[in-house]
Structure 1
Amino acid sequence: MHQLNKFMTSNVYTVNETQSVQDAANLMSQYNIGSVPVVNNAGQMVGIITDRDITLRTTAQGEAAQTPISQEMTAQQVVQGTPEMDAHEAAQLMAQHQIRRLPVVENGQVIGMVALGDLAVDNQLNNEAEEALSSISTPSEPQK
């Protein structure tokens, strides 16, 4: 079995939901990352903010400095994995939801992040990672 805890990056940077979007963007720039889990004051994951969220929801409107992250993050039904989750299942989940990065959560706390590239380095998972990327790269249809 290929559990996610063998593939995940455990040094995860997070932001608090009350911080500004500019703070999140600065963190992404400093560490060259594309998404940051959002936590509340208790350290529980409440959402995720991506570079795309910032670009489309905030920067285009010129409000990054004063906009709290809680207004721009994805909060409802944040797709997440667990440390014991099978990596094959994680790749399928990422393809289904068209995401490239999956937060790994245990007891509500973010303990890691897995990117498609992390899965692609394993020969047994390479094909699934390629299939997931193919699904992610295909534009989704508008919801009706």
Structure 2
Amino acid sequence: MKVRDVMTSNITAADSNTSISEIAKKMRDLNIGAIPICDEQNYPIGIVTDRDIVIRGVVEGLTSNDNVAQIMSKQVIYVTPDMHVHEATRLMGENQIRRLPVVENGKIIGMVSIGDLAVQNIYEDDAGHALSEISTPSRPMM
């Protein structure tokens, strides 16, 4: 099965000048936990999660008017729509991430999440393994 078979294609993206407040409102209104940040050509240059807002924004003392470029993850791991879902779950596990932008011809066309993969019964074991790797702390807990 290919990523295109399980990805969400109706996505919301933002640019790096979008305020943290606008991003948080979009997440709330759409009931999502991550928004890709794209350049003028719709290529993902970052991603911001609800966790980024709290850990990198609130804890660091940023205001809701600050732009999202200050808190987004800049290293974007992405997949292509023709990539096999096994490869997507491997990337999620190795990089301890729950969502991957789907890029085709240099433009974002969708997102695939660990949840998208888990609902496919045939890939339940892969998704479970990836989630296990994601949930394992990469550094010792204090």
Q: TM-score, normalised by structure 1?
A: 0.92
Segments of 5+ residues of structure 1 without an aligned counterpart are none
RMSD: 1.3
Q: What is the DSSP-based 3-state SS (H/G/I as helix, E as strand, rest coil) of the residue aligned with 1:111? A: strand
Shift of 1:50: 0.7
How do 1:95-106 and structure 2 match up within 5 A? 95-106=93-104
Query: What is the distance in 2 between the residues matched to 1:79 and 1:43?
Result: 15
How do 1:49-64 and structure 2 match up within 5 A? 49-64=48-63
Structure-2 residue corresponding to 1:4: 3
What is the aligned residue count? 140
Report if the CA contact (8 A) 1:20-1:64 is conserved: no
How do 1:1-144 and structure 2 match up within 5 A? 2-76=1-75, 78-141=76-139
Shift of 1:65: 2.0
Shift of 1:102: 1.1
* Paired residue type of 1:65: S
Q: Percent of aligned pairs with the same residue?
A: 45
Q: TM-score, normalised by structure 2?
A: 0.93
Report if the CA contact (8 A) 1:12-1:110 is conserved: no
Report if the CA contact (8 A) 2:79-2:103 is conserved: yes
